[in-house]
């Protein structure tokens, strides 16, 4: 009589393992164009009197992932040389209804209702290297709810710009940008001049809400099997 109960519990645990959060994974949005990069927003903010930068990512770029918890960003610098500007940045994420190639020059109107601060940091003329990583507070993103908006507020102290142009995607199909320069919202034309930064997201998979009651049932079943063994 114990064996079927044990097998049922083991089977339930196996099912729970399939729905439990997994280790960190990555997905990269955008494809770098050789010999082309962007100094906005991290390389030359003072040069453009930059105060705010937004980038929208198509939900289709996260297709098949389900709800994810974003905890890290990587931007790439193919030449591997150059220095950051002297500036401070605060990054927010939200789920937005604004489409790729459809950001408003009124940047505030692009922000979604679940807007949350992801990270705050400063760059002080340090060397960039081949990759630039930002780690922050996990942001829960469900692609079924809309596109992903990265909203960066910039305090550009001074530029120490030395050829830093991070890898950008010219396709205009999975990411585009908008920014505030000299206090005016700016939209680039929806083609090569409108590239968003190629971005690698580090994330963990978030279990579906219906998996949580299943977890409780599984623990209860295991506890019952253990109690029966003790009682016998």
Does residue 167 surpass a pLDDT of 90?
yes
CA 53 to chain centroid, in Å, comes to 15
**pLDDT at residue 15, rounded to an integer:** 32
- Residue 17 CA, chain-centre distance (Å), reads 25
Residue with tokens 């927010």: 92
Q: Which of 96-100, 118-122, 189-193 has the lowest mean pLDDT?
A: 189-193
**Are the beta carbons of 132 and 64 closer than 8 angstroms?**
no
Q: How confident is the model at residue 144 (pLDDT cuts 50, 70, 90)?
A: very high
Q: Dump pLDDT digits (tens) for 208-226.
A: 555 445 545 555 666 666 5
Task: Name the pairing type of β-strands 147-158 and 50-57.
Answer: antiparallel
Which residues have CB under 8 Å from 133's CB, separation 6+? 72, 73, 74
| 68 in Cβ contact with 159 (< 8 Å) | no
The string of pLDDT tens digits covering residues 7-45 is 333 333 333 333 344 568 999 999 998 878 888 899 888
């Amino acid at each position: 009589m114990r064996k079927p109960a044990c097998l049922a519990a083991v089977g339930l645990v196996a099912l729970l393992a399939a729905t439990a959060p997994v280790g960190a994974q990555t997905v990269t949005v955008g494809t770098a164009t050789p010999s082309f990069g962007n100094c906005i927003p991290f390389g030359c903010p003072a040069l453009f009197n930059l105060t705010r930068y937004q980038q929208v990512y198509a939900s289709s770029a996260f297709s098949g992932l389900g709800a994810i918890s974003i905890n890290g960003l990587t931007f790439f610098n193919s030449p591997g040389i150059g220095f950051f500007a002297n500036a401070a940045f605060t990054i927010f994420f939200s789920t937005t209804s604004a489409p790729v190639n459809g950001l408003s020059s009124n940047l505030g109107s692009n922000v979604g209702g679940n807007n949350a601060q992801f990270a705050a940091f400063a760059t002080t003329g340090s060397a960039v290297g081949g990759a630039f990583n930002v780690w922050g507070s996990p942001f829960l993103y469900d692609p079924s709810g809309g596109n992903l908006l990265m909203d960066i507020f910039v305090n550009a102290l001074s530029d120490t710009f030395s050829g830093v142009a991070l890898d950008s995607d010219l396709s205009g199909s999975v990411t585009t940008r908008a920014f505030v320069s000299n206090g005016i919202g700016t939209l680039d034309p929806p083609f090569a001049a409108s590239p968003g930064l190629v971005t690698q997201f580090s994330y963990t998979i978030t279990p579906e809400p219906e998996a949580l009651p299943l977890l409780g049932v599984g623990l209860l079943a295991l506890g019952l099997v253990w109690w029966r063994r003790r009682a016998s």
